[in-house]
Structure 1
Amino acid sequence: MNIIGLYVPGDSVLYRAPSGAKLLVLLVVVTTVIALGNLWVALGAACTAALAYPLGGLPPRYVWRVVRPVLPFLVLIAVFQGFAADWPTAARVCAQLTTAVLLAGLVTLTTRVSEMLALFERLARPLRFAGVRPDRVALVLALTIRSIPMVDAALRASREAYAARGLRGRPHLMVVPVIVGLIRSAEATGEAMAARGID
């Protein structure tokens, strides 16, 4: 189950906090952890971010669901940093990235998409003087968020069809069906927008 971009209903203090405040905390914490460049601070921040899930009213399993998609990248980064620099540096970088991923996931899971888009539209209002329309910024973000579960659905459908045909050892055969599925979804979205007069 891909939980990126999906809101999980709840009523804890974290859910009631303003979306702007949550994004600000995310920015400050991640920036501080990276700026300090300390292994123990990074490890402590990652553990604290993981503990924030149950404290914020989310089941602990969501910690794994958030980290799992980026785990292969963390392993590759750890190996590269371990050989290019040293293993404490590798651990620090991975802990910093894990902190950022966990906190970003926490914000996403506890904030409605509508609230996030309204926040970004407000933040984009000063750009009106440069000819940027804030409502278009919100629309682009909405389409971006919507595309994440679309990609996940296309991958899942292609994987199921691949397994149903008894194919093994040729995962590249799933690429074309995924691309075709995404193109069809994009065309359907474009037609729906055109029907509503959105150019």
Structure 2
Amino acid sequence: MLTLTSPIETYAHRLPAGLKLVLLCGFTVLLFALKSPLALLCAALPLIVGIAAAGRSFATSSVRMLRPLLPFVVIVALWHLITKDPFGLPILIRMITAVAAANFVTMTTRLSDMIAVIERLARPLAPILPPKALALAMALTVRFTPTLLARAAEIAEAWRARSPKRPGWRILLPTTLAALDDADRVAEAIRARGGSA
């Protein structure tokens, strides 16, 4: 399984995980409160400066992390162009900025620090939901997402090597089975270490 934390050490790595998550929540709320494209671009400016201040390599990695968003940007842009809806630009700016901010926090925060924050926040829910179980579920989700994407890419590549047809929906079943197989193996590993899964 992969981690999304950047190996490039930056000033943001030294900030507490709790502070970064609080700032991310506040920033996201602000983005949804703003309506005009100019106000949204002004709100995005500190984030752009913060990413640029982390260095060229880190900024390049941050931009690369936005690639999976491209199909959604194209679909939203086309929809608003076809329907002649003037609210398309604010939606696109908000979406890209929010994802870039979340990526920035994820790339500069160790997963163990995030889990510790989630466990602290989940303590009041202990009677109905064990904090450790919630933290583990979130950690597995974060770590499994890039693994699942990589597995889907491998299956699509294998399909293209054997068939001239586009893979499309045809790789859905093998990707799902591969994900279930990985989940089963992780559950066995957790049980072997004394956990419950």
TM-score bracket for this pair, using the shorter chain length: 0.7 to 0.9
| SS, match of residue 58 in structure 2 | coil
C-alpha contact 1:43 1:95 (8 A) present in aligned 2 = yes
C-alpha contact 2:77 2:88 (8 A) present in aligned 1 = yes
Once residues 46 and 88 of structure 2 are traced to their aligned partners in structure 1, the CA distance between those partners, rounded to angstroms, is 20
Change (3 A) 1:63 1:146: closer
C-alpha contact 1:46 1:102 (8 A) present in aligned 2 = no
C-alpha contact 1:50 1:63 (8 A) present in aligned 2 = no
Runs (5+) with no aligned partner, structure 2: none
Under a length normalisation based on structure 1, what TM-score does the superposition of the two structures give?
A: 0.86
Q: How far does the alpha carbon of each residue in 1:155-175 deviate from its partner, in whole angstroms, 9 at most, with x for none?
A: 122022113224333433322
The two structures, once aligned, show a CA RMSD in angstroms of 2.1
Once residues 170 and 137 of structure 1 are traced to their aligned partners in structure 2, the CA distance between those partners, rounded to angstroms, is 35
C-alpha contact 2:21 2:105 (8 A) present in aligned 1 = yes
Residue 84 of structure 1, CA deviation: 4.6
| SS, match of residue 65 in structure 2 | helix
Q: Equivalent residue for 2:21?
A: 23
Q: Equivalent residue for 1:173?
A: 170
Q: Equivalent residue for 1:75?
A: 74
Q: Equivalent residue for 1:156?
A: 153
Once residues 112 and 40 of structure 1 are traced to their aligned partners in structure 2, the CA distance between those partners, rounded to angstroms, is 34
Q: Equivalent residue for 2:129?
A: 132
C-alpha contact 1:53 1:62 (8 A) present in aligned 2 = no
Once residues 11 and 144 of structure 2 are traced to their aligned partners in structure 1, the CA distance between those partners, rounded to angstroms, is 29
C-alpha contact 1:37 1:92 (8 A) present in aligned 2 = yes
Deviates more, 1:97-106 or 1:66-75: 66-75
Q: Aligned match of 1:143 in 140, 143, 157?
A: 140
Q: How does 1:63-102 map to 2 (within 5 A)?
A: 63-84=62-83, 86-87=85-86, 89-102=87-100
| SS, match of residue 103 in structure 2 | helix
Q: Kindly indicate whether residue 181 of structure 2 is the aligned counterpart of residue 184 of structure 1.
A: yes
C-alpha contact 2:8 2:58 (8 A) present in aligned 1 = no
Runs (5+) with no aligned partner, structure 1: none
Once residues 47 and 108 of structure 1 are traced to their aligned partners in structure 2, the CA distance between those partners, rounded to angstroms, is 19
C-alpha contact 1:49 1:103 (8 A) present in aligned 2 = yes
Once residues 49 and 67 of structure 2 are traced to their aligned partners in structure 1, the CA distance between those partners, rounded to angstroms, is 17
- Number of equivalences: 194
* Amino-acid identity (%): 32
